[in-house]
Amino acid sequence: MANPTGSSQAFTLYGWESSYGTESASKDKVFGVGQNITINRSNTFQKVRGIGDRDVNAVQPGQYEGGFSITTSLSNPWWFNMLFGTPADAGAGPYTHTWNSTTALPDSFSTILGIDSDTDSNQVLLGCKAESIKLSCSVGETAQLTIDGSYKTETEDSTLDTKQTESAYDVFFFQQGTLSVGTSVGFIDNVELEMTNGLLPVYSLGSRFLSSIQPGERNFNLNFTVKWNGPTNLDDFYGQDGSPVDDTIASQSTAVLTFNNGGAGTAQRQIVVTLTDLYFDSESLPTSTNEVITEDMTAFCKSFSSVVATDNTATAL
């Protein structure tokens, strides 16, 4: 009997697929630094019952359902392909990588979970697509990335892929993040940007595995908490200064979330997410004894303008 295995003996990587569900030839990318992965699988068994018997008459497997969740510290921008396809590369050190409305649909990818133990296990998830990606950051912490998604099928064997070094990437910290909504937002406690693909799973007769996963309605939700420092955000929520609008509320023109390591030239590492037409859906103002007053803002954006990453990598990975 093999011994139990600790998480220090596991690793996860991914690589872009040439076509949906075809294993990537090179699974050599890390999602970030300090990765964690959860895989959920279901056979969705169908129980057949009929009159004359209290017990199950027959059992058949139904649709194969696979899901995954990745959490990691934010350190590189390549996962934006999961939302916006392949970026346009430019520059000559530092380089820029731009995702916008002209880039392709979300890319599919293969994800591995390697477990290096008495009995090695290399689990490869095929046809992965991201449903929800969250960027979040709180005072005193590293910026966090969460990716939730679905996959088509998988393989498992004892031949491990080659583990990659996570520490080759710089981690973004809270003091390197800024948010502007028209103008810079001050005294931010935390911010979360959730971007969703609205995935539409497609099954068909002849196979219990997914035929494809198509992108559906896209959503961009922005939530942040600030120390109360005047009615600016409240007035934006109202739609005018001093009281709620009794008619159409105009959007805020842009929301820009930036992470910048402060480096210059080829040492610069920056991610700039620009969203357009932001609407404040709700505002909360908790006020408690002996505490600084905070303000919780919940908003959504109609669309995105661009994501621009700056680094010293000539071609997006």
How far is it, in rounded angstroms, from Cα 239 to Cα 119? 61
pLDDT in tens, 232-273: 999 999 999 999 999 899 998 899 999 999 999 999 999 999
Residues of the chain with pLDDT below 50 are none
Counting every residue written for the chain, the total comes to 317
Closest CA to 215 of 231, 199, 192, 237: 199
Q: How many CA atoms lie within 13 A of 54 on its CB side?
A: 0
Q: Can you give the C-alpha Rg of the chain in angstroms?
A: 23
How far is it, in rounded angstroms, from Cα 314 to Cα 311? 8
Per the structure, the count of domains in the chain is 1
How far is it, in rounded angstroms, from Cα 12 to Cα 160? 11
Please list the residues that pair with 12 across neighbouring strands: 113
Q: Which domain holds residue 223?
A: 7-48+60-161+172-311
SS3 210: coil
pLDDT at 1: 67
pLDDT in tens, 24-43: 999 999 999 999 999 999 99
pTM of structure: 0.94
* In-domain check, residue 2: no
Among left, alpha and beta (phi > 0; psi -120 to 50; other), residue 81 is alpha
* In-domain check, residue 126: yes
* In-domain check, residue 255: yes
How far is it, in rounded angstroms, from Cα 219 to Cα 211? 24
For the chain, the distance separating the N- and C-terminal CA atoms, rounded to the nearest angstrom, is 40
How far is it, in rounded angstroms, from Cα 128 to Cα 119? 26
* In-domain check, residue 270: yes
Please list the residues that pair with 89 across neighbouring strands: 97
pLDDT at 4: 87
* In-domain check, residue 100: yes
* In-domain check, residue 13: yes
pLDDT at 236: 93
Handedness of CA 71, 76, 79, 80 (dihedral sign): positive
* In-domain check, residue 194: yes
* In-domain check, residue 219: yes
